[in-house]
Amino acid sequence: MPDFKNFIAGAWVPPSAGAYFENTNPADTRDVIGRFPQSGPEDVARAAASARKGFALWSRTPAPVRGQVLQRVGDLLVKKKEDLARAMTREMGKVLLETRGDVQEGIDTAYYAHTEGRRLFGRTVPSELRNKWAMSFRRPIGTVGVITPFNFPLAVPTWKIFPALLCGNAVIWKPSEDVPHTASLLVEILLEAGLPPEVIQLVHGGGDAGKALVEHPDVGVISFTGSTDTGASIGATCGRMHKRLSLEMGGKNAMIVLDDADLDLALDGVLWGAFGTTGQRCTATSRLIVQAGVHDRFVKMVADRALKLRLGPGLEAQTEVGPLIHEASRDKVEAYVGIAKGEGASVLIGGARGQGAGLERGWFFQPTLFVGVKPGMRVEQEEIFGPALSVIKVKDLDEAVAVNNDVKYGLSSALYSRDVNAAFRALNELDNGITYVNAPTIGAEAHLPFGGVKQTGNGHREGGWAVYDFYSEIKVGYVDYSGKLQRAQIDTEI
Ligand code: UN1
């Protein structure tokens, strides 16, 4: 079994304490991908010292030149797309079609970053005084700590690392313990593309490594995607230490289906939204809010099709739903089946582990439909992060909006209707960072801002143009060429 290493101070190195963890295939736990470093504060401290040097060099490199490195990263991702997708599916379970999409999202993010190197706009504005110039521009910040989840092992890290690099920062990356192999492959690509080695540091490990990164005084910026609980403790530390922080956390995303919807279209949408990635997306559809007139018919349509979804290893061509990431995750979904029943909902389909040939050694769980769910029940309020969908019946759009909004999260939502007035009302009234009309809650594109309201985040956005604000400091410059003292707000002409 191979031993993988950290990448610190320009070299692949073993962890300082000599401890490792195993990384296994969630579809077949006999398949061990390798042992990865269990890092701690010492490794993080070495990474931070090296990142300072990397930053000194990289922050002075012209942004268009930094962009060219990211262009080469994009080219390498294109070239290696299939191999990466296979490694990712082996490591975290989702079907190949989806890991290819995950790599594509990284490619899109790389090319966006490349061209942003020739923009990174500041603003030049008129001064209120004569013969004075007023402008703003962007400066790199320093060392950015990036902590990423398992479900998009490539795309989500690229959302953070690529703009952070393009803005001229150095990065220390602590990927999820569930997907360290993809992380190692991506760092190899960054180096092959010509990124100066000390600009990127890869520190594998679990909570200890993450905590050391968040607490390190040299790491002034933290970007985290993961659970709301972990985000809260990171937030407490960053608040105390006055760090810049971007949090992307849970969701309890709803699809609303009105009586006038194209039900066949909504059916394709809900299956993809709820059971794609085995429900393990922060954008996954986990509530289906259906208007009374079509409720019974639509629920039957969903149940009939969901029953036919083929569970299996993501590397097999016929598989539609892969395994959950690990045992604790399957236990959690299983526990929610008991919780749903205890609260008076019924399990229409699924509710059990995957059974049958080829499913014995992985963390498979059947697509599950909870019906008779009432607003306020735990399966209606809490993020399950698995293939479980709660169905809620409502009388009209007003009630649907109220149900959608009455959760602590606010990432994504979807409305299926043919009524243009309903569509615009949904866009305006649903409390989410993203609303889809006649499309499922998943599938955000890399060049638009991504993020949620309420407990989903802390006000920042990833993706698109917005993320560049997070990774750069705005500096303002005034040049007075009048040759005399001009006092702002005092020597006024009006
Ligand atoms: C996530 O689940 O953390 O919109 C990200 C989507 C994907 C990204 C999901 N493009 O579903």
> pLDDT digit string (tens) for 275-329?
999 999 999 999 999 999 999 999 999 999 999 999 999 999 999 999 999 999 9
Tokens at residue 20, please? 């490792």
Mutual orientation of helices 96-116 and 155-166 as an angle, nearest 10°?
10
* pLDDT higher than threshold 90 for residue 267: yes
The finding on whether 294 has its CB within 6 A of some atom of ligand 1 is no
Ligand 1 atom closest to 284 (CA):
11
pLDDT value, residue 494: 78
Per the residue annotation, which of 98, 116, 248, 380 is the catalytic one?
248
Any ligand 1 atom below 6 A from CB of 277: no
* Predicted structure pTM score: 0.98
In the block, which residue shows the tokens 């909870």? 370
Mutate to test the pocket of ligand 1, among 450, 456, 462 (most ligand atoms within 8 A of CB): 450
Please give the distance, rounded to the nearest whole angstrom, from the Cα atom of residue 198 to the centre of ligand 1: 29
Instruction: Give the separation between CA 153 and CA 151, rounded to whole angstroms.
Output: 6
Say yes or no to pLDDT of 1 above 90: no
Rg (CA), the chain: 24
**282 Cα: distance to centroid of ligand 1 (angstroms):** 6
Q: Using the mean position of ligand 1's atoms as its centre, give its distance from the Cα of residue 122 in Å.
A: 29
> Residue 442: CB within 6 Å of ligand 1?
yes
Is residue 167 annotated as part of the catalytic site, yes or no? no
Read off the pLDDT of each residue in 436-443 and give the average, rounded to a whole number: 98
Q: Is 104 exposed, middle or buried (0-12, 13-18, 19+ CB in 10 A)?
A: middle
Q: Is 151 in the pocket of ligand 1 (CB under 6 A)?
A: yes
Give the HSE-up count for residue 350: Cα atoms under 13 Å, Cβ half-sphere: 31
What is the spatial distance between Cα 314 and Cα 312, in angstroms, rounded to a whole number? 6
Task: Give the integer Cα–Cα distance in Å for 289 and 302.
Answer: 13
Q: Distance from the CA of 444 to the center of ligand 1, in angstroms?
A: 6
- pLDDT > 90? residue 64: yes
Q: If you average pLDDT over every residue of the chain, what do you get?
A: 98
Q: What is the mean pLDDT of residues 421-436?
A: 98
Around 348, how many Cα atoms within 13 Å sit in the side-chain half-sphere?
19
Helix (H, G, I), strand (E, B) or coil at 234: helix
Distances (CA, A) of 11 to 7, 67, 162, 188, 316: 5, 24, 21, 11, 36
Asked if 134 and 127 count as a contact pair (C-beta separation under 8 A), the reply is yes
pLDDT band at 180 (very low <50, low <70, confident <90, very high): very high
